[in-house]
Amino acid sequence: MKDTPLSNSERDFLLKAIAEKKRLDGRQTYDYRRIKVSFGADYGCCFVELGETRVMAQVSCELVAPKESRPNEGILFFNIELSPMASPAFEAGRQSELSVKLNRQLERCLRNSKCIDTESLCVVSGEKVWQIRVDVHLLNHDGNLMDAASIAAITALSHFRRPDVSSVGEEITVFSHEERDPIPLCIYHMPISVSFSFFQQGTYLLVDPCEREERVMDGLLMIAMNKHREICSIQSSGGIMLLKEQVMRCSKIASVKVSEINELISKALENDKRARKAGERCGYAASLPRGRITALKMDETLVDMTTVMDTAKEIIQEAAVPSEPSSAKHTRAASPVVPAPGVGQVGLGLENSWGLEEDVDEEDEGKGEEEPQMEEQHHERKPRRGVDVVEISDSEEEEVVILHP
């Protein structure tokens, strides 16, 4: 799947912003994005975040036969995988031109610079040597892949520990981490790549271009340098002509950025070493919650409890029960009072008049209206003698029974 190209309006907007020395994310011309380095649970696993660009590097080793031309040296192998998860422009299971370019540049930066002592990887001359394999996986693509890959690769190599071995005659024994402490690699220096993008035929220069800035740039210059200000590799692409002054200016900027990144990597390695030595959780396990549900977690609210007791005593005193009258102290509890049919009261003997007066008035009015109506019905209907007549009024509360002789 091909990536969506930029429209003309987007391209013009980016170039105009760069000409005004403005960038999309608010950075200055020579500013790097935020760099974060973290490690996995095993030795040799490193995660690097360069802004939104995320890269994972994993180092592994195995015993193999050496090359015939160099029987006393170990083997370094680098592999960069660009998966469709990082960008829809990458295809799975197929090496693109970009991946080949990044592989070659990473080999020039780390292998050809002799930053690792390959002779220390020899176990038996001409028979067995250690092959160190560095797999770099791109997790998210937001520009400047080479810088992120070089930082992840050299940090993973510095963090890696290989098993200890011993050879007696032709027998080679590989010890586990529990039997013997693993051995770190012998690293002389840490070369790091710094990328510079040029716009409008070299008129404008940016450090650490993002993905959109890479689409509109005219050329790219990558300089790999260590903290001793030694250039390990340099590569220019894009077909633009650079002046000597421009290259020297970029090298001075690269020396400053490389020293800052070296300090960041050294600090991350020291923190991880201290955490592992103290037995604390490190790597991916350190990011997991400590047995707590944090999805609905809220910040704790401080509550002032100094005046709670005083306030509670005041409320209790205000709501105290009134004292009993002296005449009722030695009397027995009053029996239940029935002020009306269907109504009862149990308490201190005091009648509760709430709602009773209205009920009594309604009953009196109902009786006064019912008696004349019932007398009129009696004169009109003249029932037989000896027969009881029972009439029920409209009232739902009581029944009226009239008996005639």
pLDDT tens digits, one per residue of 22-81 = 888 888 889 999 999 999 888 899 999 999 999 999 999 999 999 988 889 999 999 998
Q: Is the domain 26-286 a CATH 3.40.50.1370 member?
A: no
The model's pLDDT over 270-281, given as tens digits with 9 standing for 90+, comes to 998 888 888 776
Specify the pTM.
0.68
Question: Using one digit for the tens of pLDDT, what is the confidence trace for 121-130?
Answer: 998 888 899 9
User: What angle do the packed helices 145-159 and 97-110 form, to 10 degrees?
Assistant: 50
Distance between CA 405 and CA 178 in Å, rounded?
117
CA contacts within 13 A on the Cβ side of 19: 9
How far apart CA 132 and CA 41 sit, in angstroms, is: 19
Q: Where are the domains of the chain?
A: 26-286
**């009239």: which residue's tokens?**
402
Convert the pLDDT of each residue in 99-145 to its tens digit: 889 999 999 899 888 899 999 999 888 889 999 999 999 999 998 99
Using alpha carbons, list the distances in angstroms from residue 176 to 15, 127, 180, 181.
Answer: 56, 21, 6, 8
